[in-house]
């Protein structure tokens, strides 16, 4: 059994919180109060002033999770079935294999957390960055809080191709938009490391683009 809390420095937490897919423990129940503790921390994330706060749907019911897993798998296939392995680099292929594993098992992950944005109507034109920026930091805060409690997560969005099917399943009203679906489970193995990223010089522009 892993300890409930994992001691990490802030920098370790930020650089070693990885997408966990193969190492999710699908058999170990996750206490709901623990998930709520993470969401309470996530509520402290920045959100645009005057904009609505993130809403969360925490799904633990096995039949609902199975149905979400089926939608996720279908949407994932829609997105990725045409991609041939030969077109991918080694890293991309490993990532896709891992994502495909999650697509196979998502419905069995003990907790599915769906982050939503309530605009009360269709998404407006114009400043989308501020709109989604009201939800996204909170989602990442949730994932970081989960990490320090021995939970593994992955940011997923593949199901959004079939967002309405999930809305129908969960009774999400029009005007509430789904942002990210975060499968959450205890993870097996604490050894997460910083991932390869492009050199900083390739993405930092000094004084102008
Ligand atoms: C906006 C966004 C959408 C993502 N959607 C998915 C997804 O649908 N399924 C999935 O398995 N991973 C998804 N990911 C996770 C990325 O694939 C993952 O971050 C990438 O493989 C790098 O792995 P790392 O997070 O461990 O560095 C998403 C990440 C982001 C930020």
pLDDT tens per residue across span 103-152: 999 999 999 999 999 999 999 888 889 899 999 999 999 999 999 999 99
* 20-24, 37-41, 48-52, 53-57: least confident range: 48-52
Alpha-carbon distance of 177 to 169, in angstroms, equals: 14
Rg (CA), the chain: 18
In which band, very low, low, confident or very high, does the pLDDT at 200 lie, cut at 50, 70 and 90? very high
Give the position, in ligand 1's atom list, of the atom nearest the Cα of 18: 26
H/E stretch holding 165 reads helix 163-170
* 44-48, 79-83, 166-170: least confident range: 79-83
Whose CA is closest to 39, among 130, 119, 144? 144
Does 99 contact ligand 1 (Cβ within 6 A)? Answer: yes
Query: What's the gap in Å between 40 CA and the centre of ligand 1?
Result: 23
Query: What's the gap in Å between 124 CA and the centre of ligand 1?
Result: 26
Which protein residue has the closest C-alpha to ligand 1 atom 21? Answer: 95
Does 158 contact ligand 1 (Cβ within 6 A)? Answer: yes
Does 17 contact ligand 1 (Cβ within 6 A)? Answer: no
Of 93 and 40, the structure prediction assigns the larger pLDDT to 40
Which protein residue has the closest C-alpha to ligand 1 atom 19? Answer: 19
Query: What's the gap in Å between 95 CA and the centre of ligand 1?
Result: 9
What pLDDT does 11 receive?
A: 97
Alpha-carbon distance of 60 to 117, in angstroms, equals: 21
Whose CA is closest to 195, among 107, 109, 95? 95
Sign (positive or negative) of CA dihedral 13, 134, 178, 74? negative
Query: What's the gap in Å between 207 CA and the centre of ligand 1?
Result: 30
Give the position, in ligand 1's atom list, of the atom nearest the Cα of 95: 21
Give the position, in ligand 1's atom list, of the atom nearest the Cα of 76: 8
Across the range 91-100, mean pLDDT stands at 91
Residue 104 contacts by C-beta under 8 Å, 6 or more apart in sequence? 73
Residue 166 contacts by C-beta under 8 Å, 6 or more apart in sequence? 68, 71, 114, 159, 172, 178, 181
Across the range 62-81, mean pLDDT stands at 96
Does 154 contact ligand 1 (Cβ within 6 A)? Answer: yes
pLDDT at 168 over 90: yes
């Amino acid at each position: 059994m892993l300890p409930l809390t994992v001691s990490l420095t802030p920098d370790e937490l930020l650089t070693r919180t990885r997408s966990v897919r193969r190492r999710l423990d699908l058999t170990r129940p996750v206490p709901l109060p623990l998930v709520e503790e993470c969401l309470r921390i996530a509520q402290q994330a920045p959100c645009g002033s005057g904009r609505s706060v993130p809403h969360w749907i925490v799904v633990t019911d096995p039949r609902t999770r199975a149905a979400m897993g089926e939608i996720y798998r279908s949407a994932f296939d829609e997105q990725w079935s045409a991609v041939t392995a030969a077109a991918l680099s080694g890293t991309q292929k490993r990532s896709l294999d891992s994502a495909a594993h999650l697509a196979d098992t998502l419905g069995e992950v003990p907790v599915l957390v769906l982050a939503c944005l309530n605009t009360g109507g269709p998404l407006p034109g114009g400043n989308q960055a501020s709109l989604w920026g009201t939800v996204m930091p909170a989602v990442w805060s949730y994932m970081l809080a989960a990490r320090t409690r021995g939970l593994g997560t992955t940011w997923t969005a593949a199901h959004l191709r079939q967002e309405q099917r999930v809305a129908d399943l969960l009774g999400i009203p029009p005007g509430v938009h789904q942002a990210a679906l975060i499968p959450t489970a205890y993870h097996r193995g604490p050894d997460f490391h910083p991932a390869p990223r492009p050199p900083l010089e390739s993405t930092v522009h000094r004084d102008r683009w």
